Amino acid sequence: MLKKERWYGACFGAFLLLSLQLRAGPIQRVGERPFGRTPAGEEVTLYTLRNAHGMVASVMGYGATITELRVPDRDGKFTNVVLGADSLEAYTKGFSGAASVIGRFANRIANARFTLDGQEFRVTANAGQHQIHGGRNGFARKVWQGEILMSIPSAAAVCFRLRSPDGDEGFPGTLDVTVTYTLNDNNELRIDYMATTDKPTPVNFTNHAYFNLAGDGDVWDHQVWIDADRITTVDAELIPTGEYTPVAGTPLDFTEPTAIGARIESLIPSTKGYDHNYVVRNGGQRFALAAWCYEPRSGRLMHVYTDQPGMQLYTGKRYFRDGKPVAATPEQKHNTVCFETQHFPNAVNHPHFPSTILRPGKPFRSATAFRFSTATSCPTVR
């Protein structure tokens, strides 16, 4: 009886939403408003994307950051599933849960240096002697210029542009980057990256969204499947050594759907949880399913598609409720999980890793998509 009542309730909710939409006319798919100014006086705009089913994605110019992503559960209730903040000030003061674009180089570069075409480059060290996520003033801390795209049918889209000058954080070449967020009627948020350069330079982009598909609590019950049977081996400082480690028989094995909390405690003494780069089976040769995550209480299911060869699984202690930071309670553990599609960390120092070098005349293009749906139980492998 409970299942039947829930089904009737969901149908009525969908009928009511459709009726309201018909009365109100066509939905306004994209809106924009000022979100504040940086300490340097740069104006930041917040864009809100909507689809025909009520899903909402808000993205701002500072860091090309997702500030909110509201998706329905199995009963049609919408909740923000991405950690965000209500004010620009929180971000400029170093809010550590930002779902921002990371660049020029996502993840780590050992000893903050690399050699390219026989010349050594030293980049900004911001993680001890190493660099992580583009340095002290990486792309997540820059103001991007946004533009609403109106010509995409059955979707809402905004394009962000950024010019990174030659020498920015120590990287060579002037890099022009565009990042486009598209929310379509399949409840999918797609991120398209494109970049060109006037000198050879490393590029490695990702989005560092912290997800909790329940909207609050820890993520230990989230069920995860990853299409990877190896990780890039790392040393004690999480720097890839250039080797690979099979995941079979270890707490890192997600080739069968497994709860995040099932084996995480064995990792806490070393990496404080999951913080590992998975080698996607297809090697980034095509746009394909790389992982999915299912939350049993809400029934929310998120599929992750990418054309990148790697994905960092990271469980963070970023406590929030309905997308907003809250104080942690003693019983809370890992409250968020990241699926950072990327090239391999420290690839600039391992020539046998997939290359991250962008050269003039050969634009970089990549895409990642997060597709949301609901299920009554944990799916099978795919």
Note whether 278 and 226 are within 8 A (CB). yes
The pLDDT value recorded for residue 324 is: 67
Q: What is the pLDDT of residues 237-246, one digit of tens each?
A: 999 999 999 9
**Is 208 labeled as catalytic in the residue annotation?**
yes
CATH architecture of 44-374: Distorted Sandwich (2.70)
Note whether 246 and 230 are within 8 A (CB). yes
Q: Is the pLDDT of residue 25 over 80?
A: no
Chain centroid, CA 263 distance in Å: 23
Residue 117 DSSP SS3: coil
Q: What is the pLDDT of residues 165-214, one digit of tens each?
A: 999 999 999 999 999 999 999 999 999 999 999 999 999 999 999 999 99
Residue 5 DSSP SS3: helix
Q: Is the pTM of this model over 0.85?
A: yes
DSSP result, 26-52 = S---EEEEEEEE-TT--EEEEEEEE-T
Q: Is the pLDDT of residue 24 over 50?
A: no
Of 68, 188, 295, 340, the catalytic one is 340
The pLDDT value recorded for residue 99 is: 95
Domain ranges for the chain, please list them: 44-374
Q: Is the pLDDT of residue 317 over 90?
A: no
Of 133, 208, 222, 334, the catalytic one is 208
Q: Given pLDDT bands bounded at 50, 70 and 90, which one contains residue 1?
A: very low
CA nearest to 158, candidates 185, 125, 197, 191: 191
Q: What is the pLDDT of residues 83-124, one digit of tens each?
A: 999 999 999 998 878 899 999 999 999 999 999 999 999 999
